[in-house]
Amino acid sequence: MSAPFGRRLCEVSENHSSGGYRVFSLLDREGPTPLPGQFYMLAAEDHWEQLGGRPFLPRAISVAETGPAAAGVRLDFLIEGIGPGTGRLCELAPGESVWVNGPLGNAFREPREVSAGAAGAILVGGGIGVAPLALLRRRFGERNVPVRVLLGFRDAEHSGGLDDLFACCEVRLASEDGHAGHQGYVTDLLAAMLTGDDAGSAVVYSCGPAAMLEAVRALCAAHGVACELALESPMACGYGACFGCAVPKPEGGYLRLCVDGPVIAGDRVAEVTHA
Amino acid sequence: MSAPFGRRLCEVSENHSSGGYRVFSLLDREGPTPLPGQFYMLAAEDHWEQLGGRPFLPRAISVAETGPAAAGVRLDFLIEGIGPGTGRLCELAPGESVWVNGPLGNAFREPREVSAGAAGAILVGGGIGVAPLALLRRRFGERNVPVRVLLGFRDAEHSGGLDDLFACCEVRLASEDGHAGHQGYVTDLLAAMLTGDDAGSAVVYSCGPAAMLEAVRALCAAHGVACELALESPMACGYGACFGCAVPKPEGGYLRLCVDGPVIAGDRVAEVTHA
Amino acid sequence: MPEFCGISLAHPVINASGTFDAIAARRVYGDALLADFPFSAFVSKTITPEPRAGNAPRRIWETPAGMINSIGLPNKGLEGFLAEDLPQLAELPVPLIVSVMATGRPEFARLVEAVADREEVAAIELNVSCPNVHSGLIVGEAPAETEALLEALRPLTAKPLIVKLTPNVADPAAVAVAAESGGADAVSLINTLKASAFDPLSREPALAAGHGGLSGPAVRPVALQQLRSVAAAIGLPAIGMGGIGSGADAAEFIAAGAALVAVGTESFRDPRAGSRVAAELDFTSPQGAAVQPALDLD
Amino acid sequence: MPEFCGISLAHPVINASGTFDAIAARRVYGDALLADFPFSAFVSKTITPEPRAGNAPRRIWETPAGMINSIGLPNKGLEGFLAEDLPQLAELPVPLIVSVMATGRPEFARLVEAVADREEVAAIELNVSCPNVHSGLIVGEAPAETEALLEALRPLTAKPLIVKLTPNVADPAAVAVAAESGGADAVSLINTLKASAFDPLSREPALAAGHGGLSGPAVRPVALQQLRSVAAAIGLPAIGMGGIGSGADAAEFIAAGAALVAVGTESFRDPRAGSRVAAELDFTSPQGAAVQPALDLD
Ligand SMILES: Cc1cc2nc3c(=O)[nH]c(=O)nc-3n(C[C@H](O)[C@H](O)[C@H](O)COP(=O)(O)OP(=O)(O)OC[C@H]3O[C@@H](n4cnc5c(N)ncnc54)[C@H](O)[C@@H]3O)c2cc1C
Ligand SMILES: Cc1cc2nc3c(=O)[nH]c(=O)nc-3n(C[C@H](O)[C@H](O)[C@H](O)COP(=O)(O)OP(=O)(O)OC[C@H]3O[C@@H](n4cnc5c(N)ncnc54)[C@H](O)[C@@H]3O)c2cc1C
Ligand SMILES: Cc1cc2nc3c(=O)[nH]c(=O)nc-3n(C[C@H](O)[C@H](O)[C@H](O)COP(=O)(O)O)c2cc1C
Ligand SMILES: Cc1cc2nc3c(=O)[nH]c(=O)nc-3n(C[C@H](O)[C@H](O)[C@H](O)COP(=O)(O)O)c2cc1C
Ligand code: FES
Ligand code: FES
């Protein structure tokens, strides 16, 4: 289903902190239910300009969870405040309104093989990149796709979303400071898992910092395992208008991440140099 | 006493509505007590930019009242929200901070003749221009200068400050819609007063819209009565840096209203074409 | 209904070239885009004789009340445009203006000739912010180059030729006058201002191309002044653009002499900005600082 | 301690001409101004041979992330400056740079000669955004005019001559190269961009002069690009300005090639902006998007 044409105002219904990040919810009365991997362009209705004339453009944010609400669809977002745009989104108060354009972009595809014996989906998330995997995990659960979730965090201050978005289910953790789970990178866990007998039928789904995605891509390529990566790039519009979100294609030229992505098959990117 | 060099943050202690306008108070821990007629350059610390990159510059606002406070000086301002800058000042919440530069500009001078028989001061205010006259009236009261106060308002929705700033004392009112006092202009009341025997020793102090000030200036000139007018002009800096606040001098050339005013003797302006 | 070079338009708001991809937008929003098309005419992204991939990322950078872009004119080239894009653009419910750029008169001529007889094409915009490979001069910076280009292209088509002026000159009116002498039917302005920024962390240029073009509300005062001086100097209609985000902004451009206005960067913030600006032109804004322009453009 | 044309400065932040009146500020703030002077050198408002009243109001207009001014260079003229202002400016605790403008070489020469031997004056800034009354050309828009002016003035003084470039040209580097050939010691840029706005209610030009110059954060990306291209083209030090409001902004200008930076419009918002920018240059901003520039200017 297409996104409604244009931007619309949606009310903030909640905003709480979550392991150094924030989770906030919007009530979307018009839009369709988004698919895992899709994103929205968001801008606070009031006080969007924070500091020296920025933010000026809306910000691309993945949907982390969704569900039916009184008069529409609830959209949950996980935000790490790293600048004026995400900073403003972090401080949204219930009752405030946000300009919303979306859902935009493509979605993660389901593994082709979902037979009982197949390895199913391996979700690999790092930092703020865990957001789109939350909705993906739930969708796979509903469709009986076997799912294993590997999440990596720098430290406790960068472990947002874990309790809120992954409370229900088993996740394997890695943390750089060792505060939870394996001390080291989440890709160490993935590497071990890809040596398993059933790895060949697995599909890896990943979102996170550039270095992590590149490690995931290289690992999967080495093991001949299919993977889908949710990338980031600077976006002015999110709907194909500006050509700002260029990501190099392995064969040369560029794709527009907002309309050709943000989810890209691992063999469609040469090397991930930015997330 | 000079203003402290630079701008400083002052906390908002109160903000309430007043006849279509707002009255808000700041706690100034550093500045000297301002004199009647002086103004401050104000900008909200947060969310100053409201709409399309504006406001960008601070806004000039007269001090309407002042008094000692716990740890400094209380400054009261009367604001009419007419654009993004005054709009933001109107919505300041207690606890928010405001960048303050001032007190700036000159002050109203006392009448030279304050003998018992002298007519004393006649204060003529219109609309938002009543603000600086509130502090002036109290000062004159404290110094036993006889004061008569004439205030004009368009209608009930533009009668701010009356109850808050002039509660204590007798004021003569005019309103264009007749909702209070004389139906018509406040300058009608002044014209009648200037025909009095003692008018020659009076001094008129006035602040308000351009047309009102021009009528006051012309009336006083015709009756040979001294007057001091608090003018407005567009101000970028408020301290003589930008030369933006030019007001024509009767003999040609311009004065800088922020440092040579905002209070100007009636015979130092040719014709008031802007407030 | 405004009329522009003989073309009837539903309202005076069109898009700025390169800031709205109607084909991509239709993929994203479906046919709702056509039912509610935000512009009264559609200007294509600039096409060049050969395909271009565009510049390496990073291509965009946010600035105070604006943005810098160094997109680098990615496009399918003339053949790709005619084969793949033109049929789709012909389905839009509004007249189509094709924007073209080349680095020499023969190549420009090839582009103009290729669309000169196409029914689907209502007008041609010449993007002259490019160097002439022979003279080395940026065509749009040199009045004589601009005039010569127009003289070469004018005989090739009966369709209106719109010259998109570059703002990075001391005297844009001189270039506009040259375009008029050469036979242009209209001018459009402003294109982006040369600009750059540095990444605060690396202190390297923020954009891979080193520099780019500034657009958005930040440039509006520059656009209004150039439009004012250009409109006063020529007898042709002008399309005004540069930071328009509201009806009040558009009314300033009309006051400055624009026959039509174009919305660019604001469409990134609001995909329906074109319709909104057109609607706001008729209303008084709640801000008080508002406008009710007497729109009699026809 | 940065050194600039042989002048030692306490830090690399000075003021932009015409945006800080040290004499008025001392009247307003008292001697606290001197104790805590925000700039490492003081640049006077531009003086002209004869007194000027300046333009009729309205003279300023706020724009997105900036402002337009059409102040019109009000000043007391050379005699008034020497008699009334110079003695007061000599009391400032920092070196004094005098900005001058005239409409012909003989008048420019008169200004330069008048301050050439003054101990109180450390350097002279030539504001060349003015028409030459003989050629009609804006001196700063024509490389040959700029070079000829410098050749005429160079023999008149041993003091550093700084050429303030105008940004309203296609190629500011060409003018900077001409200034260097003519014997300039440094350049400064950018001056304001030609700009206008319309009053939303009357739809008349907002400024009485019709147009003015744009300054503030809005122009920063344009300033950075012009500085970058100028600094790459000449061997002289450059003073960078245009929308600097923080240490992070200043660091961008230093990355783009500036030896010193100047704060203009930001002083209107914060009278101590100069000191703040100098201090912030050493700190990492809490925004994360911050800068710790390796300042080795000497
Ligand atoms: C498809 C997609 C999905 C995303 N999902 C999420 C999500 O779920 N949660 C989340 O928190 N984030 C998400 N992001 C990232 C988010 O969009 C960015 O973090 C956000 O745009 C940053 O904006 P900002 O204003 O907070 O920071 P900015 O200050 O804009 O900083 C972000 C980067 O922008 C650049 N930048 C551009 N202009 C400037 C400038 N003038 N000064 C300094 N830096 C500048 C810098 O490279 C900087 O590192 C997603 C991004 C994409 C593309
Ligand atoms: C000495 C002095 C004392 C004052 N005291 C008070 C006081 O006590 N209380 C009070 O309420 N006010 C006071 N004012 C007036 C107050 O400063 C102005 O009303 C205020 O600056 C308006 O700012 P704004 O952003 O709300 O409105 P703006 O939108 O700035 O509108 C104000 C005017 O600014 C102009 N303007 C400038 N740029 C633009 C633009 N881009 N678009 C539209 N309009 C623009 C227009 O002429 C408009 O009418 C005083 C002014 C002075 C000079
Ligand atoms: C991302 C982007 C891409 C652009 N591409 C083109 C282009 O292909 N051809 C062209 O003539 N102008 C192009 N422009 C310039 C715009 O058409 C317009 O002249 C300019 O952006 C000013 O308008 P605005 O401030 O409303 O965006 C582009 C501008 C942007 C921001
Ligand atoms: C109100 C005002 C007055 C100015 N007067 C002068 C002047 O007298 N001489 C001059 O060379 N530049 C003058 N300028 C230009 C500034 O020196 C500076 O080049 C420009 O404003 C860009 O810097 P900014 O964005 O930091 O203000 C003036 C600028 C403003 C805003
Ligand atoms: S973000 Fe604009 S085209 Fe992708
Ligand atoms: S407001 Fe700047 S000089 Fe008066």
Give the DSSP letter string of A133-196: HHHHHHHHHHTT--EEEEEEESSGGG-TTHHHHSTTS--EEEETTSSSSEES-HHHHHHHHHTS
pLDDT of B201 over the 80 cut: yes
- Mark yes or no for CB contact A53/B49 under 8 Å: yes
Residues of B whose CB is below 8 A from A53 = 49, 53
State yes or no: pLDDT of D165 exceeds 50.
Answer: yes
In this predicted structure, the answer to whether residue C141 has a pLDDT above a threshold of 80 is yes
| Cα gap D259→D123, rounded to integer Å | 15
Pairing of strands C96-100, D42-43: unpaired
Chains contacting chain B through 3 or more C-beta pairs under 8 A: A, C, D
Coil/strand/helix, residue A24: strand
pLDDT at D88: 98
> How many angstroms separate the CA atoms of C237 and C262, rounded?
13
- CA-based nearest residue in chain A for residue D217: A52
State whether B119 and B186 are in the same domain.
yes
**One domain, residues B58 and B98:** yes
Distance D264 CA to ligand 4 centre (A): 6
Average pLDDT of span D180-209: 96
Q: How many Å lie between the centroid of ligand 3 and the Cα of residue C18? A: 5
Tell me what the pLDDT averaged over chain B comes to: 92
Q: Is residue B178 part of a domain?
A: yes
Question: Are residues A238 and A137 located together in one domain of the fold?
Answer: yes
Residues of D in contact with B237 (CB under 8 A): 267-268, 271
CA distance C51 to chain D (A): 28
Catalytic center residues of C: 130
Residues A38 and A164 in one domain: no
Residues of D in contact with B257 (CB under 8 A): none
Q: Which of residues A59, A89, A104 is at a domain's end?
A: A104
Same domain, B162 and B249: yes
For all residues of chain C together, what is the average pLDDT?
A: 93
Q: Which residue has the higher pLDDT, A177 or C133?
A: A177
Please indicate, yes or no, whether residues A179 and A97 belong to a single structural domain of this protein: no
- The CA distance from D158 to D175, in Å, is 22
Confidence (pLDDT) at B198: 78
Task: Tell me the per-residue pLDDT of B130-139, one tens digit each, with 9 for 90 and over.
Answer: 999 999 999 9
A interface test, pick of C62, C73, C220, C266 with most A CB neighbours within 10 Å = C62
Q: Is B96 part of the contact surface with chain A (CB cutoff 8 Å)?
A: no
Q: If you average pLDDT over residues B144-153, what whole number do you get?
A: 91
Q: Which of A66, A87, A104 marks a domain boundary? A: A104
Nearest atom in ligand 6 to D21's CA: 3
Cα of A96 to nearest chain C Cα, Å: 19
Looking at the structure, tell me whether residues A61 and A127 fall in a common domain. no
Same-domain pairing of A88 and A117:
no
More reliable by pLDDT, B159 or A7: A7
pLDDT at B115: 63
Kindly state the helix (H) or strand (E) to which residue A215 belongs, with its residue range: helix A210-223
User: Which residues on chain A are in Cβ contact (under 8 Å) with D287?
Assistant: 51, 83-84
Put simply, the answer to whether C63 touches A56 (Cβ < 8 Å) is yes
User: At what angle are helices D247-255 and D273-280 packed, to 10 degrees?
Assistant: 70
Of B166-180, C42-56, C232-246, D19-33, least confident by mean pLDDT is B166-180
* Phi/psi at C76 (5° precision): -80, 0
* Residue B97 sits in the same domain as residue B115: no
Chain A, chain B: beta-carbon pairs less than 8 Å apart: 11
List phi, psi (to 5°) of D172. Answer: -60, -25
Of C65, C245, C288, the CB nearest to B82: C288
Average pLDDT over residues D201-222: 96
Give the mean model confidence (pLDDT) for residues C48-56: 96
Distance D167 CA to ligand 6 centre (A): 25
Residue C287 touches chain B, beta carbons under 8 Å: yes
Helix (H) or strand (E) run with residue C221 in it: helix C220-233
CATH code, B227: 3.40.50.80
Amino acid D66 reads: G
Please give the residue range of the domain that contains residue B148.
111-268
DSSP secondary structure letter of residue D219: G
Name every residue whose Cβ is closer than 8 Å to that of residue D114 and which is 6 or more positions away in sequence.
D78, D82
pLDDT at C110 over 90: yes
**Residue with more model confidence, D260 or B174:** D260
User: Can you say whether residue D258 is alpha, beta or left, with left for phi > 0 and alpha for psi between -120 and 50 degrees?
Assistant: beta
A222 reaches D (C-beta below 8 A): no
Active site annotation includes D130: yes
Cβ–ligand 1 distance for C117 under 6 Å, the answer no
Interface test with D, best of A50, A54, A57, A80 (most D CBs within 10 A): A54
Contact between C287 and B53 using a beta-carbon 8 Å cutoff: no
Q: Residue B113: pLDDT band by 50, 70, 90 thresholds?
A: low
- B43 and B143 inside one domain: no
pLDDT of res. B19: 86
Chain A contact for D136 (CB, 8 A cutoff): no
Query: What's the CA gap between C147 and C160, in Å, rounded?
Result: 16
Q: Judge: C198–D224 Cβ closer than 8 Å, yes or no.
A: yes
Residues of A in contact with D288 (CB under 8 A): 82-83
- Report d(CA A56, CA A52) in Å as an integer: 10
Distance from the CA of A238 to the center of ligand 1, in angstroms? Answer: 13
Closest to B259 (Cβ–Cβ): which among D27, D71, D269? Answer: D27
> How many whole angstroms separate alpha carbon A159 and alpha carbon A7?
31
Q: Which fold has domain C3-282?
A: TIM Barrel (3.20.20)
Confidence band of C292 (pLDDT split at 50, 70, 90): very low
- Where does a domain end: B54, B80, B104? B104
Q: Is A106 in the pocket of ligand 1 (CB under 6 A)?
A: no
Tens-digit pLDDT profile for residues C66-101:
999 999 999 999 999 999 999 999 999 999 999 999
In order along chain A (275 residues), what is the average pLDDT of each group of 10 residues? Answer: 95 94 96 96 93 91 95 96 96 97 96 71 93 94 90 85 79 88 90 84 93 94 94 97 96 96 92 73
Does residue C170 register a pLDDT over 50? yes
Helix (H, G, I), strand (E, B) or coil at C161: strand
Alpha-carbon gap: B90 to the closest alpha carbon of chain C (Å): 14
> Which carries the bigger pLDDT value, residue B200 or residue A97?
A97
Nearest atom within ligand 3 for CA of residue C217: 25
pLDDT bucket at D284, cuts 50 / 70 / 90: very low
**With a CB-CB cutoff of 8 Å, which residues 88-117 of chain D face chain C?**
none
d(CA B256, CA B149): 28
Output the domain CATH number for residue A74. 2.40.30.10
Could you tell me which of B96, B41, B87, B38 has the C-alpha nearest to residue B66? B38
Q: What's the pTM? A: 0.96
Find out whether the peptide bond into A262 is cis, omega within 30 degrees of 0: yes
Residue count (chain A): 275
Cβ of residue A50 closer than 8 Å to a chain B Cβ: yes
Are the C-beta atoms of A98 and A42 separated by less than 8 Å? yes
Q: How far is B48 from chain D (nearest CA, A)?
A: 11
- Residue C177, token pair as written in the block: 């006058």
How many whole angstroms from B40 Cα to the centroid of ligand 6?
A: 12
Computed on alpha carbons and rounded to an integer, the radius of gyration of chain D in Å comes to 18
Q: What is the pLDDT of residue B155?
A: 86
pLDDT tops 70 at residue B77: yes
Instruction: Check A2 against C267: CB less than 8 A apart.
Output: no
Contact call for residues C244 and C221 (beta carbons, < 8 A): no
Spacing, Cα A150 to ligand 1 middle (Å): 24
Q: Is residue B33 a part of any domain in this protein?
A: yes
Position with higher pLDDT, D295 vs A24? A24
Give the model's confidence band at C286: pLDDT under 50 very low, under 70 low, under 90 confident, else very high: very low
Residue C298 has pLDDT above 60, yes or no: no
User: With a 6 A CB cut-off, is A82 part of the ligand 1 pocket?
Assistant: yes
Q: How far is the CA of B59 from the centre of ligand 2 (A)?
A: 7
User: Are residue A100 and residue A115 in the same domain, yes or no?
Assistant: no
Cβ of A236 closer than 6 Å to ligand 5, yes or no, is: yes
Taking CB atoms and an 8 Å limit, are C32 and A259 in contact across chains?
A: no
Does the pLDDT value for residue D290 go beyond 70? no
Task: Return the minimum-mean-pLDDT range out of A202-211, B13-22, C62-71, D133-142.
Answer: D133-142
Residue D283 pLDDT more than 70?
no
Q: Do D224 and C195 count as a contact with CB atoms less than 8 A apart?
A: yes
Which pLDDT score is estimated for A274? 67
DSSP string computed for B86-142: HHHHHT--TT-EEEEEEEES--PPPPS--STTS-EEEEEEEGGGGHHHHHHHHHHHH
Q: Touching C: which chains, 3+ CB pairs < 8 A?
A: A, B, D
Q: Residue A52 has what pLDDT?
A: 79
Alpha carbons within 13 angstroms on the beta-carbon side of residue C44 total: 33
How remote is the CA of residue C263 from the centroid of ligand 3, in Å? 9
Nearest alpha carbon, ligand 4 atom 15: D191
- In angstroms, the CA A153 to CA A182 distance is 10
Tell whether the model's pLDDT for residue D282 goes beyond 80.
no
Position D139 pLDDT exceeds 70: yes
Whether residue B186 has pLDDT greater than 60: yes
Ligand 4, atom 22, residue with closest C-alpha: D242
Instruction: For chain D, give the mean pLDDT.
Output: 93
- Residue A119 confidence (pLDDT): 79
Question: In this predicted model, which residue has the larger pLDDT, D205 or A193?
Answer: D205
Q: Does B82 touch chain D (CB under 8 A)?
A: no
- Cα–Cα distance measured from residue C135 to residue A255, given in angstroms and rounded to the nearest whole number: 34
With contacts defined as CB-CB under 8 Å, which chain A residues touch D289?
83
**Mean pLDDT confidence for C160-181:** 97
Q: Is the pLDDT of residue D173 over 50?
A: yes
Q: Where do the structural domains in chain C lie, given as residue ranges?
A: 3-282
The reply to whether ligand 6 has any atom less than 6 angstroms from the CB of B244 is: yes
pLDDT tier at B180, thresholds 50, 70, 90: confident
Number of domains within chain A: 2
Contacts of C246 in chain B (CB under 8 A): 52
A194-198, B201-205, C55-59, range with greatest mean pLDDT: C55-59
A2 domain residue, yes or no: no
Q: Residue C296: pLDDT above 60?
A: no
pLDDT at res. B116: 62
Tell me, yes or no, if B99 comes closer than 8 A to chain D by beta carbon: yes
Cα within 13 Å of Cα(B74), Cβ side:
14
Do A118 and A99 sit in the same domain of this protein?
Answer: no
Atom of ligand 3 nearest to the CA of C15: 17
- pLDDT the model gives residue D288: 31
Q: What pLDDT score does A80 carry?
A: 95
> Residue C224: its pLDDT value, please?
98
